[in-house]
Amino acid sequence: MVAWVRDYLAHRRSLGYELRTEGQLLLEFGRYVDRQTRGRARITQALALQWARRPRRAARAYWARRLSVVRALARYCAAFEKGHQIPPSKVFGPAHPRHAPHLYTPTQIKGLLKAARLLPGFLRPHTFATLFVKGSVLSIVVFLHLIVLQRNRPAHQQRGPGRRLYDVRLRRQR
């Protein structure tokens, strides 16, 4: 299996991918499969799941990441030779879980702007202050746009950032 891994890594790297962490994980997987199968290198769902669950005390997201790396290798191997099984996705949940965004309060935004003004240099304080303000305005626009998509009533009031009430007039999209 290590030979398959090396071929796969060479192919992907020739396409411009670095694959540092993935490469180390795949070489570890290849050695694991070679030990378990005594040279009859075939990727099976059972082998992939066993390997992905190592170490036992790791987080499920880590297991999911390990499994996603093996899935990519399995797809590559299955394209060239029958007998390789592609493990199921999301057995352990998402490999890259999305974290809930942090919504800043008006007090926090004021603190960020104040801290930005204290940065060294001439341009840096103004740049960061502008980015914070533009980001706040953009998040309000996105927030209000999502309201338009989610509501069917013609008009209503919606609480926005800073607990302000916004009158939102809705119209049907054509």
- The pLDDT tens digits of the residues spanning 129-159 come to 777 665 555 555 555 554 444 444 445 555 5
CA distances 144 to 48, 73, 147, Å, are 45, 43, 5
Residue-level pLDDT at 8? 93
Residue-level pLDDT at 156? 54
Residue-level pLDDT at 147? 46
- The pLDDT tens digits of the residues spanning 9-42 come to 999 999 998 999 999 999 999 999 998 888 777 8
pLDDT at 169 over 60: no
- The pLDDT tens digits of the residues spanning 38-84 come to 877 789 999 999 999 988 888 888 899 999 999 999 999 999 988 89
Whether this prediction's pTM lies above 0.85 is answered by no
How high is the mean pLDDT of the chain? 79
